[in-house]
Amino acid sequence: MPDSSKTDLRKQISDLEAKLAHLMANQERDAVMAKVANSRLGQVEAMLGIVPVGVLLTDKNGQITLGNSAVEVMLLHPVLHSADVHSYGEWVSFHADGRRVESHEYPLAKIISGPENNAEIDVHYQRGDGSRFWLRIIGQSILDTKGNKIGAVVALVDVDTEYDLVRQQKVLIGELNHRVKNAFSVVKSIVSQSLRKDEIPAGVRKTIDERLNAYAAAHAKLVGSDLDHADLGGMVTDIVVKMAAGQVRCEGPTVSLPSRQALAISMALYELTANAVKYGALSSADGMIDLIWRTDGGDDPQLYLDWVERNGPPAVEPSQAGFGSFIIDRALVMKTDGDVTISYEDNGFAWHLVMPLDQEQGIDMTAKKKRVFIVEDEVLVAFEMTDTLQDMGFEVVGPSVHLAAAQKKAKTSDIDVAFLDVNLGRGQTSEPIAQILRERSIPFVYITAYERSQIKFVEDSDMLLQKPVSSSQILAVLRKVLPELDS
């Protein structure tokens, strides 16, 4: 064989050896990479196996490639490895209105097919045994290092208990609303029958009946909401707009009011509107009411509510203040800790309210609620304090109106602070209760109409509030006694 041919052959053999070595090296690398990938997949599967929610993974085309054991336990059927986003309909679930959930409505489909990186839905899922439960599906995209979408993951959460609680709450609220309305109906009947027998004019009976209706409606509105707060704009719509029949201009931001203040303002709005219908701007076809409210910020936010009537008859100050005047002035001031200004002008009646907003702000109620013990022999005052403290986020112990019951609670109840009325009637005082609280190192505050010098058993270090007490005073003294409220 010529030398040149041998040289060419050796070169070819050398090239083949090099290619074979390269191929073998690649195979070894691929085997290592496959081993690493399998190891990582095993780690992922192990982690998914211990999480308390169902988890599903898809590739970039939407095919379900992996599901943990929690999915099968929750859904009572094997993981369905749907081929793509158009195949999710094999997971049988329903909307609240009974409609079948379609493939494109599932979070995985929205994430894989659309621009969203996150999606969520609650469905009434049909398990493998035919039963149904409420399931929350929370999805998120999976991105590579360059931000490209390479798949998606969803968590499946059993929220059936949450939906059961909501249903129970609706039933309880409905029952409460029913009982409140029944109670007001009974009160109306008693009042109406009593006034009729006493030959009270029909107009007076009608006025009282309307006021009771307005108070019942205000209560029903609160019962139908979150119980703790009511929206000012909603109150204006339900009361003023409904009665003013297009003769009112309303304007203002969304303002949420605690229930105690909301009831008082609801009644004031009803009285203002009813008065305008009888004597003011709404008694004239051209009359108008401007009802404007605004808020300001800062450490002590305020609500400004202005009622201005125009194009009606001249406003005349009544010679004698009646129930309506009491509601829009003194009663409202007491309930809101605000200030009311009233003016009677030739161009109409004007009413302005300025009140502190969200007085309970700044109290940290994220931890265990502070428990406030109330001892007060006047039932109406006791429950007014209860409402005030609950509006602020406290838990109330009691209230107790009798000494014996109060002593028992003072000895055994979990209490953080107490408010004690000094005089409990029938010659009894709260001194024995104060002694029990001192022995337990529980702080307390006396609430009384007496001067400090008139109370023999009050010590110099004891705190004392003079009646009548406003919510702002209660909050201020609680912050002194319980400094952790502001921490």
DSSP string, 456-486: TT--TT-EEEESS--HHHHHHHHHHH-GGGG
What pLDDT was estimated at residue 75? 92
The residue whose two tokens read 């909501």 is 166
Higher pLDDT, 306 or 38: 306
Tens digit of each residue's pLDDT (9 = 90 or more) over 348-389: 899 999 988 754 443 444 446 788 999 888 776 777 788 778
Higher pLDDT, 200 or 443: 443
Mean pLDDT, to the nearest integer, of 477-486?
75
DSSP string, 91-132: S-EE-TTSPBPPGGGSHHHHHHHSS-SEEEEEEEEE-TTS-E
> What does pTM read for this prediction?
0.40
Mean pLDDT, to the nearest integer, of 409-428?
86
Maximum distance among all alpha carbons in the chain? 142
> Distance between CA atoms of 458 and 477, rounded to whole angstroms?
17
Task: Tell me if 351 sits within 8 A of 307, measured CB to CB.
Answer: yes
**What are the CA-CA distances from residue 348 to residues 280, 294, 343 (Å)?**
7, 22, 9
Mean pLDDT, to the nearest integer, of 434-443?
91
What pLDDT was estimated at residue 6? 46
Amino acid, res. 154: V
Q: How confident is the model at residue 304 (pLDDT cuts 50, 70, 90)?
A: very high
Higher pLDDT, 458 or 27: 458
Whether residue 12 has pLDDT greater than 60:
no
What is the C-alpha radius of gyration for the chain, rounded to an integer number of angstroms? Answer: 36
Q: In the chain, what are the helix, strand and coil shares in percent, each to the nearest 5?
A: 50, 25, 30
Tens digit of each residue's pLDDT (9 = 90 or more) over 232-254: 888 888 888 888 878 889 898 88
Mean pLDDT, to the nearest integer, of 411-424?
88
| Nearest partner of 337 among 305, 361, 321, 359, judged by Cα | 359
Whether residue 157 has pLDDT greater than 50:
yes
Tens digit of each residue's pLDDT (9 = 90 or more) over 283-298: 888 899 999 999 886 6
Mean pLDDT, to the nearest integer, of 204-219?
60
Beta bridge partners of 228: none
The answer to which of 7-16, 117-126, 140-149, 415-424 has the lowest mean pLDDT is 7-16
> Distance between CA atoms of 132 and 98, rounded to whole angstroms?
12
